[in-house]
Amino acid sequence: MKHLFEAGKPGHRTLVLFHGTGGKERDLIPVAKLLDGEASILALRGEVSENGMLRFFRRLAEGVFDEADVMARAQDIKAFLEEAVASYGLDPSQLTAVGYSNGANMAAAMTLLHGPVFAEAVLFAPMVPLKDTPEIPLKGMPIFLGAGTNDPIVVPENTRALEELLRRRGAAVKTYWHGEGHRLTREEVLAAQSFLQTP
Ligand code: MLT
């Protein structure tokens, strides 16, 4: 899988970055630096091209996902992470997912399908990625959700449904609401930064 790796402070967390539709692995690097300047960075490039726009899984229409593709690619990314952990000498118990939009949806799908692959997750503008998912315990996994009350793609009911799915599995979910649409605000990144600093 195409990616970019930057080593951080030894023994510290690794931020695994998942860009949004039409993005590239570099997009979330400034966000990662703000979230935790000492972290290692493993920034992934989505392998699906939708009219030239890169994504992490196929969709049939806006908000209508090819669920078989979501599941297959979630599995592939999990396998890739295992290889990356071994080849870069990372601590597998210190992986933090950071995703925006389509990338947040993939990180959410991996969490719902495979449990705590990540120790924690920061998901900006995510939505419920799959209709049915197994009840795999998330054992207090800290998850930050960033959501916009005026997001036309992810309506607040959808954010609440995702929040509920994750909480029911035992995750410690914090949702940050902003008044904008489907975008990433500096304030929510700063809120996620303090979320990651809270022990
Ligand atoms: C998706 O397709 O994952 C979501 O609709 C978000 C987007 O990429 O527009």
The ranges assigned to domains in the chain are: 3-197
Neighbours of 52 (CB within 10 A): 6
Residue whose CA lies nearest to ligand 1 atom number 1: 102
19, 27, 101, 178: which one is catalytic? 101
- pLDDT tens, position by position, 60-73: 998 899 999 999 99
Please write the tens of the pLDDT for every residue from 51-62. 999 999 999 998
Each residue of 33-57: pLDDT tens digit? 999 999 999 999 999 999 999 999 9
Determine if ligand 1 sits within 6 Å of the CB of residue 20: yes
The yes-or-no answer on residue 178 being catalytic is: no
Residue of minimum CA distance from atom 3 in ligand 1 = 102
pLDDT at 199: 67
DSSP for 114-172, written as a single string: HS-SSSEEEEES-----S-------TT-EEEEEEETT-SSS-HHHHHHHHHHHHHTT-E
Catalytic residue list contains 101: yes
* CA 87, chain centre distance (Å): 22
β-pair partners for 42: 5, 16
Distance 153 CA to ligand 1 centre (A): 8
CA distance 103 to 56: 6
Look at the block and give the residue holding tokens 């692959």.
117
Contact 176, 196 (CB under 8 A): no
Ligand 1 atom with least separation from CA of 21? 8
| Closest residue by Cα to residue 39 from 98, 87, 82 | 98
Distance CA 126, CA 187 (A): 17
Q: Go through the chain and tell me how many residues it has.
A: 199
Instruction: Give residue 148's pLDDT.
Output: 98
Task: Give the dihedral sign, CA 168/176/193/128.
Answer: positive
Confidence of residue 82 (pLDDT cuts 50, 70, 90): very high
Query: Which atom of ligand 1 is the closest one to the Cα of 56?
Result: 3
Distance 49 CA to ligand 1 centre (A): 13
Query: Are the C-beta atoms of 116 and 138 separated by less than 8 Å?
Result: yes
The per-residue pLDDT for range 140-173, each reduced to its tens digit, is 999 999 999 999 999 999 999 999 999 999 999 9
CA of 51 to the centre of ligand 1 (A): 14
Q: DSSP for 16-72, please give it.
A: EEE--TT--TTTTHHHHHHH-TTSEEEEE---EEETTEEESS-EEETTEE-HHHHHH
Question: Residue 7 is which amino acid?
Answer: A
Q: Given 3.40.50.1820, 3.40.50.970, 3.30.70.260, 3.20.20.140, which CATH number is that of 3-197? A: 3.40.50.1820
pLDDT digits (tens, 9 = 90+) for 101-120: 999 999 999 999 999 999 99
Is 114 among the catalytic positions? no
- Average pLDDT over the chain, rounded to whole? 97
Which residue is closest in CA terms to ligand 1's atom 8?
A: 102
In whole angstroms, what is the distance from residue 196 CA to residue 121 CA?
A: 9
pLDDT of residue 198: 83
Cβ–Cβ < 8 Å for 96, 121: yes
Task: Give yes or no for residue 21 CB within 6 A of ligand 1.
Answer: yes
ipTM: 0.96
